[in-house]
């Protein structure tokens, strides 16, 4: 069960309208790594979680917090659009640099949402449920969550540099801080799960010679010019789970056969032998 509390998690207050920045904020609302994505990702992982209750509770806690972040961004976008008008945009467009670089306000903020946030990215592309990951494997999901928070915090930090509005910056600083903690959280969960089951997903597929081409599980294949990649930890030493030693292989020879697919029947109309028909 969910309850809505009227107060926002953090104060949201802008100094002045800025429809162009409102459009930019749409990316961290409805973009691939926006708050809608992490909200839905964590909630679906929580809804479908099986096993230890603490993981389900954590996912539901953070997923619910992300609902609040979506509301914060909608409030922020609405305040940035308050007082915006086509005349404001026309005035801004008098400066060619502004017109070219800023790209103008999103017309859908006027036409579709009535000066409100939308479930779209900064180019107006609708949010897509395919953005979320909920695989049923906790370690795989936690790693995806860390990736999502990493990209999300990066984008908010970039937006922070794009505005001088101290009110907007204050809100973004809060979001950046929470994204820092969420990265910590997923890293801690990943470390805990790796201690239990190992670092490779899925742990239930054993790394035995009968089940897996084991020697190839530790080979680094250098397939680009130069040998600089041999200097990384991935090319020498022991694997993180201690099951084998890395082997660096420069210019390894292919181990498979040359593909030789059969020519399909002429009813497929591939025209591979069309000349014999043209002669008739």
Annotated domain spans of the chain: 19-197, 214-250
19-197 CATH fold: Ferritin (1.20.1260)
Any idea which residue has 């084991």 for tokens?
Answer: 214
pLDDT grade for 13, boundaries at 50, 70 and 90? very high
pLDDT at 94: 64
What does the pLDDT look like over 244-277, one tens digit per residue? Answer: 899 999 999 988 999 999 888 888 888 887 676 6
Cβ contact 179:156 at 8 Å: yes
Considering only 47-56, 80-89, 95-104, 252-261, which range has the smallest mean pLDDT? 95-104
Phi, psi of 222 (to 5 degrees): -85, 105
Q: Tell me: pLDDT of 104 over 90.
A: no
pLDDT in tens, 114-157: 888 999 999 999 999 999 999 999 999 999 999 999 999 999 99
φ, ψ dihedrals at 220, nearest 5°: -95, 120
> Do the Cβ atoms of 205 and 212 come closer than 8 Å?
yes
Is it the case that residue 221 has pLDDT exceeding 60? yes
Q: What is the pLDDT of residue 55?
A: 97
Q: Are 65 and 154 in contact (CB under 8 A)?
A: no
Report the candidate in 142, 131, 135 with the shortest Cα–Cα distance to residue 40.
131
pLDDT tens sequence across 142-195: 999 999 999 999 999 999 999 999 999 999 999 999 999 999 999 999 999 999
Tokens encoding 230 = 């041999």
Q: What H or E segment, with its residue span, contains residue 89?
A: helix 86-92
What integer pLDDT is reported at residue 52 of this predicted model?
87
How many CA atoms does the CB half-sphere of 225 hold within 13 Å? 0
The DSSP code for 225 is: S
At residue 84, does pLDDT exceed 60? Answer: no
What's the predicted TM-score (pTM) here?
A: 0.85
Residues whose CB falls within 8 Å of the CB of residue 113, separated by 6 or more in sequence, listed in order: none
């Amino acid at each position: 069960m969910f309850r809505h509390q009227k107060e926002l998690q953090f104060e949201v207050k802008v100094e002045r309208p800025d429809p162009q920045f409102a459009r930019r904020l749409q990316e961290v609302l409805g973009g691939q790594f926006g708050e809608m994505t992490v909200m839905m990702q964590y909630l679906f992982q929580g809804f479908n979680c099986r096993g230890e209750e603490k993981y389900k509770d954590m996912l539901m806690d953070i997923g619910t917090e992300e609902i609040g972040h979506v509301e914060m961004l909608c409030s922020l976008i609405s305040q940035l659009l308050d007082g915006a008008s086509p005349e404001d945009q026309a005035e801004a467009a008098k400066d060619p640099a502004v017109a070219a670089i800023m790209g103008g306000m999103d017309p859908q903020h006027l036409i579709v949402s009535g000066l409100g946030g939308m479930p779209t990215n900064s180019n107006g592309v609708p949010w897509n449920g395919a953005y979320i990951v909920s695989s049923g494997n906790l370690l795989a999901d936690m790693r995806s969550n860390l990736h999502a928070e990493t990209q999300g915090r990066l984008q908010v930090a970039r937006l922070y540099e794009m505005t001088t509005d101290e009110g907007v910056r204050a809100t973004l600083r809060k979001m950046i801080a929470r994204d820092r903690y969420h990265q910590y959280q997923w890293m801690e969960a990943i470390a805990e799960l790796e201690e239990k089951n190992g670092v490779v997903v899925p742990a239930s597929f054993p790394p035995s010679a009968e089940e897996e081409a084991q020697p190839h599980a530790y080979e680094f294949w250098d397939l680009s010019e130069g040998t600089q990649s041999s200097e990384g930890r991935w090319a020498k030493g022991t694997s993180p789970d201690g099951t084998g030693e890395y082997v660096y292989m420069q210019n390894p020879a292919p181990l498979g056969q040359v593909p030789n697919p059969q020519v399909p029947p002429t009813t497929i109309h591939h025209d591979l032998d069309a000349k014999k028909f043209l002669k008739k």
